[in-house]
Structure 1
Amino acid sequence: MGNDVAESDPLVLTEKDLLDMSDADYMNPAQLNFFRQRLTVMKRELMENAEVTGAHLRATEVAADPVDRATLEEEHALELRVRDRERKLLKKIDSTLRQLDDGTYGYCEETGEPIGLKRLLARPTATLSLEAQERRENLQRVQRE
C-alpha cells in the first residue's frame, strides 16, 4: 500500500495517511515520528517568535507624547503576555517530546487509554483523552460554583 513508503520515510506521512492507519497501528514508529516532527516545528517557531520579541523590545522607541508612550507600553505588555503563553507552551512541548522518548505519548495520563489521532492532530501536546479532559473541566466548573 501507499503507507509502506510513509513508514520507511516519515517525511512523506500526511495527516490523511495517519488517519487512514488502523487502530492496531496506533503510536507506531511512523506516527511517533510524525508527531515528533510536528512538535519540533512548533518549538522552532515559538523560539523564533521569542527572538523577534526580544529584538523588538530591545529596540525601544522613545515617544515624547504621553499618548504615544502609553500605546507603546500597552503594545509591549500585550506582546509580553503572548510570549508568556508561548513560554508555557514551550514547556508543554518539551514535556511532550520527553513522552515521545519514554513511550507514553498518545495515551491519557489519567486512564492510560489512547488519546486518539484526531485529538492529537488538533492539540499535539494533549495529555488527556477528550473524555478525561471534559471530566476535569466539569469538576473545575463545579468547584468554582
Structure 2
Amino acid sequence: MSTQAKQQLSPGLSGFTPYVETKGEEYMSEPMRKHFTKILLNWKQELMHEVDRTVDHMKDEAANFPDPADRASQEEEFNLELRARDRERKLIKKIDKTLQLIEDEEYGWCDSCGIEIGIRRLEARPTADLCIDCKTLAEIKEKQVGK
C-alpha cells in the first residue's frame, strides 16, 4: 500500500499523541473534544495540502505529447490523481460533519446503538460513527448482500 493510500486510511499525523484520560473523567469531556478537534483539523489541513499539490503538479506536468501512448499515460495518471482527490474531497466533507458533531456535543456515540464508540477507535478513525460491534455487523451484512 502506498504512503498516500495509508494517509487516506488514517490521519497519519506527525507528533500525534494518544489522549490520556484523567481518573474519573467523563466521556467526551471538553479536553477530549478539543483533542479530537485538533486531530480532525490537522487531518483536514493535510488533505487540503494534497489538493493544492495535485493542482500544481497537473499544471506543471501538463504537456501535449505528440505520441498517443505518452498522452494516454499522462491522462491515466491525471485520472488516478483526480479520483484520489475526489475521495479526499468526500473525506473533507465527512471531517466537516464530524467537527460539527463535536461542536454540537454529539460526537463519540454510536449512531446505531447509542453506546460510546471509544477513544482509541476514534483516534484510529476520527470520523467513525459506529462502535466496533455495530461496524462489524454492518460489514458482515454488506458481505452477505454483496454475494
Task: Say yes or no: TM over 0.5.
Answer: yes
Unmatched runs of 5 consecutive residues or more in structure 1 = 1-12
What is the CA deviation profile of residues 48-91 of structure 1, one whole-angstrom value per residue up to 9, with x for unaligned ones? 11122122223412212222211111110110111011011001
Q: How does 1:120-135 map to 2 (within 5 A)?
A: 120-135=122-137
User: Which residue in the other structure is 2:108 paired with?
Assistant: 106
User: How far 1:14 moved relative to its partner?
Assistant: 3.3
User: Which residue in the other structure is 1:14 paired with?
Assistant: 17
Measured in 2, the distance between the counterparts of 1:87 and 1:23 equals: 38
- Which runs of structure 1 show a deviation greater than 4 angstroms over 4 or more consecutive aligned residues? none
Identify, as 1 or 2, the structure richer in helix.
1
Are residues 133 and 26 of structure 1, via their aligned partners in 2, closer, same or farther at CA, if it must alter by over 3 Å? same
Measured in 2, the distance between the counterparts of 1:66 and 1:21 equals: 63
**TM value normalised by structure 2:** 0.82
2:108 partner amino acid: G
Q: How does 1:79-90 map to 2 (within 5 A)?
A: 79-90=81-92
Measured in 1, the distance between the counterparts of 2:107 and 2:100 equals: 8
User: Which residue in the other structure is 1:29 paired with?
Assistant: 30
User: How far 1:23 moved relative to its partner?
Assistant: 6.8
User: Which residue in the other structure is 1:142 paired with?
Assistant: 144
Does the Cα contact within 8 Å between 1:19 and 1:118 map onto a contact in 2? no
Q: Kindly, what percent of the aligned residue pairs are identical?
A: 40
Pick which of 25-34 and 126-135 moved more.
25-34
RMSD of aligned Cα (Å): 1.7
Measured in 2, the distance between the counterparts of 1:21 and 1:84 equals: 39
Measured in 1, the distance between the counterparts of 2:30 and 2:70 equals: 54
Higher relative contact order (CA 8 A, sep 6+): 2
Does the Cα contact within 8 Å between 1:106 and 1:114 map onto a contact in 2? yes
Measured in 1, the distance between the counterparts of 2:40 and 2:29 equals: 17
Are residues 133 and 95 of structure 1, via their aligned partners in 2, closer, same or farther at CA, if it must alter by over 3 Å? same
SS at match of 1:107: coil
Measured in 2, the distance between the counterparts of 1:22 and 1:89 equals: 34
User: How far 1:107 moved relative to its partner?
Assistant: 0.6
Counting matched residue pairs gives: 131
Q: Rg: which structure is higher? A: 1
